[in-house]
Each structure stands twice: as structure tokens, then as C-alpha cells.
């Protein structure tokens, strides 16, 4: 009985989140952030998830304290995604923790399924606008990722990376 009530509650929370997804008012953001605490695997203190953010499989997404996820971001949590404390994810960024399998030439790519690959974003990270982070990657503490980068490998601590694919530009 209790688990049924929880499922019904989560159903209505998800409907409400879809209704207010694109509303960009300060009080709506507070409501949205409050509701995300019930659907995410974990949501820390003082987080802001802005309008038009899409979260897939939110129970697999863990968010630390003081995280901001800005407009039009997509976070696909089929594999687990762990976002540390004091992380800023700028507009239009995409974080995808799965990839399609494609090696069997006898099957259509869409019929081969996916492989889940976890992503770890450590503390004090700035992810620039329109960055793509692919599965299996660890973004180390203090990393800055330049706008438009595609991150397909682990970063080094206190590094600045950019490009397609992302490469070390300098250390902070």
C-alpha cells in the first residue's frame, strides 16, 4: 500500500515537472528544485536546475551541493552520473552515460542495444556552454571545460580542456 502511494506520488511529481519544465520564473525554479529532490537519486543543498533541462533516468543521477544546471541541458542517466559539489553546467550541455552498440554487421544498429557507461564529475568543475560529455569519463576536481568541447576521456585535476575531442589546453 505504501509503495503504491509512493509510485502515485512520483507519477504526479513527474507530470508537474513536465508542466513547469519551460517556465522561467524565480518561484517556479524553487518549486522545480524542490520536486527534483523526489525524483533524482540524490540532490544536495542550494542547487538550481533551470528551465528546459531534460533528465533521463533521474534515479541514476546524483547531484552534490551548490550545483547549477542551466537552460537546455540534457542529462541521460541510463548509466550512473555522479555530479560533485560546486559544479556549474552551462547552457546547452549534454551529458550522456550510454552509447549504442554497433559491432554486429548482421543486425541493424538500433537492434543491438546500448552499453551503459558511468560518468563522474568531481567537485569545483565548470562545464562551458554546449559541451558534450560521453560515457565512461571522469572529470577531475577543478577542471574547466571550454565551450563546445567533446569530452571522451578523463581530465586531469585543475586542468583547462577544450576542442573536439577535448585536449589539455593548460593548467589552472
Active site members? 100
Determine the Cα–Cα distance for residues 172 and 158; give it in Å rounded to an integer.
Answer: 5
Q: Which three cell numbers stand for residue 98?
A: 550510454
Q: Which three cell numbers stand for residue 170?
A: 593548460
Sign of CA dihedral 81, 84, 85, 89: negative
Determine the Cα–Cα distance for residues 11 and 151; give it in Å rounded to an integer.
Answer: 34
DSSP 59-86: GGEEE-TT-EE-TT-EEE-SS-EEE-SS
Yes or no: say if 84 and 62 are a contact pair by the CB < 8 Å rule: no
Amino acid at each position: 500500500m505504501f509503495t503504491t502511494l509512493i509510485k502515485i506520488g512520483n507519477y504526479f511529481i513527474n507530470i508537474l515537472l513536465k508542466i513547469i519544465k519551460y517556465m522561467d520564473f524565480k518561484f517556479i525554479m524553487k518549486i522545480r528544485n524542490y520536486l527534483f529532490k523526489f525524483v533524482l537519486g540524490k540532490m544536495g543543498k542550494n542547487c538550481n536546475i533551470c528551465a528546459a533541462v531534460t533528465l533521463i533516468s533521474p534515479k541514476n543521477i546524483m547531484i552534490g551541493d551548490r550545483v547549477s544546471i542551466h537552460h537546455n541541458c540534457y542529462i541521460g542517466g541510463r548509466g550512473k552520473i555522479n555530479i560533485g559539489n560546486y559544479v556549474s553546467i552551462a547552457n546547452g550541455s549534454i551529458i550522456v552515460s550510454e552509447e549504442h552498440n554497433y559491432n554486429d554487421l548482421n543486425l541493424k544498429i538500433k537492434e543491438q542495444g546500448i552499453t551503459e557507461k558511468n560518468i563522474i564529475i568531481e567537485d569545483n568543475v565548470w562545464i562551458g556552454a554546449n559541451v558534450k560529455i560521453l560515457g565512461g569519463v571522469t572529470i577531475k576536481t577543478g577542471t574547466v571545460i571550454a565551450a563546445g568541447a567533446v569530452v571522451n576521456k578523463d581530465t586531469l585535476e585543475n586542468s583547462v580542456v577544450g576542442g573536439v575531442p577535448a585536449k589539455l589546453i593548460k593548467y589552472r
